Amino acid sequence: MSLLGVRGLTRDFDGLRAVDGVDLDIGEGEVRALIGPNGAGKTTLVGMIAGRISPTAGRVTFDGRDITHMPAHRRMRLGMAYTFQITSVFAGLSVVENVALAARRRARGAAVGSAVAAALDRVGLADRGAGMAGDLAYGHQRLLEIAMGIVQRPRLLILDEPTQGLAEGEIAGFGRLVRDLAGETTILLIEHNMDVVMALAGRITVMDAGRVLAEGTPGEIHASRAVQAAYLGNGNDAAAR
Ligand SMILES: Nc1ncnc2c1ncn2[C@@H]1O[C@H](COP(=O)(O)OP(=O)(O)OP(=O)(O)O)[C@@H](O)[C@H]1O
């Protein structure tokens, strides 16, 4: 049985069908990439999975349970964690305090401090814990968001454009982090950097115009003419990168 199941998921915005009858199954332990041209519906789909956007139609199951209408905070308690393009860190709190806030969703007392230290170490921010989150470079704020996700020891970690704003060396570090996490959590990765997708994903789901255009291994997706046409047709060269 899949950890995450999506059936016929649909979302309309003022007459525009942003997500159109999507089916998706993600098995426990998978690293799944979700790709597609700008406006394909990726963020809207993931927003419905995470409970931030209510669907017009369709259902979402998590570990066999129907969560279609469950609020986001309850989904978190079930083991979903996500980082979004719009940064969710508290700029006026320290790096440690930000991660501690997330850690307290699951842990209490002394366990919080050790979990925070471990999460910051994993994302490479161990030496920046005392600094203000708002003073971090944008790319480091993205890493802080990931630390806030993994400190909750999620069963499903959703990462929305995690490498955006990261330097080359930091992207390599992010790759190591995902490989390291892959043994302990299921990962859904929305990512425009095709090198990252091809290197990390076990399977790739491609969206275009609100629908699933293709799904397969990195090799199958790379070879797919339909996928190439979707990217080239939208003037987006991501597939060629
Ligand atoms: N709140 C909203 N109100 C109206 N239209 C919206 C809203 N959110 C998204 N859309 C529209 O829905 C479509 C899908 O957008 P979405 O952000 O899900 O795509 P995406 O694949 O995540 O794109 P990107 O890669 O640029 O982030 C787009 O046409 C977008 O303009």
For the chain, the structural domain boundaries read: 28-54+71-79+154-241, 89-153
The CATH number of the domain covering residues in 28-54+71-79+154-241: 3.40.50.300
For residue 40, report the distance from its CA to the centre of ligand 1, in Å: 7
Q: Residue 161: name the closest of 145, 185, 181, 148 by CA.
A: 145
Biggest distance spanned by C-alpha atoms of the chain: 54
pLDDT band at residue 235, thresholds of 50, 70 and 90? very low
For residue 239, report the distance from its CA to the centre of ligand 1, in Å: 20
Asked whether 40 lines ligand 1 (CB < 6 A), one says yes
Instruction: Give the number of the atom of ligand 1 that is nearest the alpha carbon of residue 47.
Output: 18
Interatomic CA distance for residues 174 and 196, integer angstroms: 9
Candidate from 16, 56, 208, 213 with most ligand 1 atoms within 8 A of CB, to mutate: 16
Judged on CB neighbours under 10 Å (0-12, 13-18, 19+), 86 is exposed
For residue 39, report the distance from its CA to the centre of ligand 1, in Å: 5
Asked whether 205 lines ligand 1 (CB < 6 A), one says no
* pLDDT one-digit tens code per residue, 119-167: 999 999 999 999 999 999 888 888 899 999 999 899 999 999 888 888 8
Percent of the chain with pLDDT over 90: 68
| ipTM greater than cut 0.85 | yes
Phi-psi domain of 109 (left: phi exceeds 0; alpha: psi -120 through 50; beta: other)? left
